[in-house]
Amino acid sequence: MAELRGDFARHTSSEFNDELEALCADLLKMGGLAERQLRLAIECQSEFDSSLVDQIKEAENSVNAWEIKIDETVASVIARRQPTASDLRLILVISKVVRDLERAGDEASKVAEMAQKSAESEKPSAVGHSEVRTIGDQVLKMLGDSLTAFARMDADMALDVARNDKEVDQIYQSALRALSTVMIEDPHQIGNVLNVMWVLRALERVGDHATNIAEHVIYLVKGTDIRHLSVANVEEAVMNAPDVDER
Amino acid sequence: MAELRGDFARHTSSEFNDELEALCADLLKMGGLAERQLRLAIECQSEFDSSLVDQIKEAENSVNAWEIKIDETVASVIARRQPTASDLRLILVISKVVRDLERAGDEASKVAEMAQKSAESEKPSAVGHSEVRTIGDQVLKMLGDSLTAFARMDADMALDVARNDKEVDQIYQSALRALSTVMIEDPHQIGNVLNVMWVLRALERVGDHATNIAEHVIYLVKGTDIRHLSVANVEEAVMNAPDVDER
């Protein structure tokens, strides 16, 4: 799990400050659980083990419970503390990020379901395993990095996550092309290949969620909303903007 | 576009009330654009027309701009008005719903891209058209209904959306099975079938986003957070809960 850097300590009310720190710490705990869910799901793909499925289910339940708990805390902190400016921005971002974490966890569960399906199939196959491993490792790293970028409010690290997402998209697209060829050359593999394609799709979505989190970090640090910009435009926007704290 | 019912008029400050009404109206405008994006994308699937693609792109840009504008208004209203209780809940829900609308619009754009790809392919085919039409019409209705349920704060209508999602999932799963069979029986169709599968997947996701919106409406009306419950449990929770206003 990403470590929380000490610079949330910028508030006049120390109690409020404690609450904000606790909220960020909760978000990172939830993130750690979503990461765990994903790591186990990827493991499941290379070596299926039904005990892993139980652990994933458990992590999923915790992630879901955290989503609701953090949303409630967000509402309660806003109602009691009436935050403005950067505190409010931080709290609203937390409320968006929980959604992305929950979604990333959901995709991880789908990956695990597919692993189960494939383990139970009559014709198990190793087709696509290397693609799953490559993309799986990449998006797992992206998710971890997006959380670390959040914990450290590190816009450069967040920008790297957005860059990695472009790479993952390219690997994903070329994996899909290669897998279509396998299908055409060996129609007996169609069922297995479809399975792998859904897994890759779910993993690619995790990369999107990590990128959303990273975009929120950039917004918090730079004050620039970079959603819906291309990576090149994002880089320009980020390079040219001073940090919010330095204005 | 869904019409806004007049019962947001429950605030002591009439200016604040106007702002909340305007925020809800903006959300519904954004929703109307996302619906339009989806309707055009589905049309594109049955009869490809490149001028539709331009209109979809235009709607997408507007949806994206609305997302950013509404998020900014949310932050500004909270900072200036310091809402609590049901007003705050409404505002925080709006900030979640914009995300689902933007995502639904994104999926619509993917559907249009796939239509373009298949129109440009050497072997255009009608395979899967009826499945696309069935699921497309269903999720378009779900998206519209979720917005109407929001505008009217109608928990029953929202519950219907969640029920429809179960149906769509079943139709989706059986369409995927039928399409796999087509692939196996006629490997020349593999490329076309894959295309249709991605389209169905994107449409099924739109249904998920409509359901998220519906769940938020139920939360606002009933005060019960029903995310992560099964439909049966949701029905029980909703039937047994009085409306928030009636407590």
State pLDDT tens for residues A8-39: 445 557 899 999 999 999 999 999 999 999 99
Q: CB distance B190–A190 less than 8 Å?
A: yes
pLDDT band at A210 (very low <50, low <70, confident <90, very high): very high
Ranges A66-80, B47-61, B85-99: which has the least confidence: B47-61
Q: What is the pLDDT of residue B49?
A: 86
Q: For residue A151, count CB atoms less than 10 angstroms from its CB and return exposed for 0-12, middle for 13-18, buried for 19 or more.
A: buried
pLDDT in tens, A217-233: 999 999 877 787 777 77
Rounded to 5 degrees, φ, ψ at B36 are -60, -45
**The pTM is what?**
0.90
Residue B26: CB atoms within 10 A of its CB come to 16
* A89 closest CA partner among A245, A246, A208: A245
Residue A220 distance to chain B (closest CA, Å): 13
B84 touches chain A (CB under 8 A): yes
**Considering only CB atoms, which chain A residues are within 8 Å of B78?**
78, 88, 92
Answer whether A26's CB lies under 8 Å from A66's CB.
yes
CA separation for the pair A32, A4 (Å, rounded):
12
3-class SS at B128? coil
B183 interface with A at CB cutoff 8 Å: yes
Closest partner residue to A187 (CB to CB) among B71, B82, B187 is B187
| Minimal CA separation from B78 to chain A, in Å | 8
Nearest to B38 by CA among B130, B96, B83, B100: B100
What is the average pLDDT score of chain B? 90
Q: How far apart are CA B181 and CA A190, in angstroms?
A: 9
- pLDDT for the residue B4: 56
Three-state SS at B82: coil
| Domains (range + CATH), chain A | 14-240 (1.20.58.220)
Percentage of chain B lying above the pLDDT 90 cut: 74
3-state secondary structure A89-130: HHHHHHHHHHHHHHHHHHHHHHHHHHHHHHHHCCCCCCCCHH
Q: Is the pLDDT of residue B148 over 50?
A: yes
Q: Is B224 on the interface with A (CB under 8 A)?
A: no
**Predicted local distance difference test score (pLDDT) of residue A6:** 47
User: Mean pLDDT across the stretch B187-214?
Assistant: 95
Radius of gyration of chain A (CA): 20
The answer to whether the CB atoms of B96 and A92 lie below 8 A apart is no
Residue-wise pLDDT for A127-159, tens only, equals: 888 999 999 999 999 999 999 999 999 999 999
Please state, in angstroms and as integers, the Cα–Cα distance from residue B123 to each residue in A77, A84, A146, following that order.
Answer: 58, 58, 42
For residue A9, what is the DSSP state? -
- Judged on CB neighbours under 10 Å (0-12, 13-18, 19+), A101 is buried
In chain B, whose CA is at the least distance from the CA of A106?
Answer: B228
Q: In this structure, are residues B117 and B199 in contact, taking their beta carbons and an 8 Å threshold?
A: no
pLDDT in tens, A49-63: 889 999 999 999 999
Q: How many CB atoms lie within 10 A of CB B110?
A: 18
Give percent above pLDDT 70 in chain A.
Answer: 93
Q: Helix A50-81 and helix B85-120: axis angle, to 10°? A: 130
Residue B178, token pair as written in the block: 């039928």
Rounded to whole angstroms, the Cα distance separating A3 from B187 reads 51
Q: Which of B231, B199, B215 is closest to B142 using CA atoms?
A: B215
User: For A163-201, what is each residue's pLDDT tens digit?
Assistant: 999 999 999 999 999 999 999 999 999 999 999 999 999
- Answer yes or no: are the C-beta atoms of A206 and A38 closer than 8 Å: yes
Question: ∠ CA A207-B62-B210 to the nearest 5 degrees?
Answer: 60
Q: Measured between CB atoms, which of B75, B84, B85 is closest to A88? A: B75
Residue with the two structure tokens 């967000």 = A74
Nearest CA in chain B to A229: B64
Q: What phi, psi does B117 have (nearest 5°)? A: -60, -45
